[in-house]
Amino acid sequence: MVVTIWKGRCIVCGKEFEYKEFPNRGGYAPEKEHNFCSKECQDIRKEETYKKRLDILPLKFRDIDCDRKDLVKQGTEQSMYITGVVGVGKTVLMAGIVKEILKDFSKRVIWISYPGFIMKLQSLFRMNDEITPFGRAEEVAEFEDVLAIDDLGSEKITDFVKQITYYIINYREQECLHTLITSNFSLQEIDNQIDTRISSRIGGMCKIVKIEGKDRRLQKNQLKKSVRN
């Protein structure tokens, strides 16, 4: 058996090292990952890459740990609609799910703040751009991995908003695509105030999670004030 010995330089620490390649059916297989001198350096690069993947999240939520581990696990495996009043931790939960999903480097996530997304679509009407509002909505609707929609229903409800929202939700429900949604609205409120078809499809594709509790932001601010006083 002919064994080839190569020299490499670690892309993390810069150290030179040797590695072997052994013959196999498809040619030669390296003894180990030939970009790293050690498992430690490989783990360092993996952690760096993971942190870069977190850039899709709003900065505030990148370092916040979600304490609802059971729901995080469920959200990595199925679509979820997370509802509750303002400040109870809906976005923290969705961010926790996304952070867990991103540990699998084969998976991708699109994160959109829905009110901002709608405003960007509307701005495309005024721009001489190749992409149209529908074209951008189509990209989001047809994204094959995980779509995270934050704050659905906070935007001004117009016919345009109803049409775009229905298109995105309907497509993902029909194609069984992994979708995470947060909203201050219950499904009944979506039904009453936006569109029955949208609430029906959300209910059909998502596990419904209602988070109870008080506004954590207000509680935190009150605690800060009491400490200062």
Same domain, 88 and 199: yes
Give residue 223's pLDDT.
44
List the structure tokens of 25. 């059916």
- Is the C-alpha dihedral spanning 121, 99, 189, 216 positive or negative? negative
Instruction: Output the pTM of the full model.
Output: 0.84
Give residue 8's pLDDT.
83
Residue 225 lies inside a defined structural domain of this protein: no
Same domain, 34 and 120: no
Give residue 52's pLDDT.
96
Give the three-state DSSP class for 175: coil
List the structure tokens of 130. 């190749």
Residue 229 lies inside a defined structural domain of this protein: no
Same domain, 37 and 123: no
**CATH number of the domain enclosing 137:** 3.40.50.300
CB 97 within 8 A of CB 68: no
Mind listing the pLDDT tens digit for each residue in 21-40? 766 655 545 445 678 888 89
Same domain, 80 and 190: yes
Mind listing the pLDDT tens digit for each residue in 182-217? 999 999 999 998 999 999 999 999 999 999 877 665
CB 190 within 8 A of CB 198: yes
Element (H, E) at 16: strand 16-24
Q: How far apart are CA 97 and CA 82, in angstroms?
A: 11
- What's the number of domains the chain is made of? 2
Residue 77 lies inside a defined structural domain of this protein: yes
Same domain, 160 and 120: yes
Same domain, 36 and 105: no
Residue 171 lies inside a defined structural domain of this protein: yes
Structural domain for 30, as ranges: 4-50
List the structure tokens of 118. 């709608």
Same domain, 112 and 207: yes
Same domain, 87 and 105: yes
Give residue 221's pLDDT.
53
Same domain, 116 and 177: yes
Give residue 87's pLDDT.
83
Q: Which residues of the chain have pLDDT under 50?
A: 28, 30-31, 223-225, 227
Same domain, 62 and 33: no
CB 108 within 8 A of CB 53: no
Residue 80: DSSP 8-state: E
- In sequence order, the β-bridge partners of residue 27 are 24
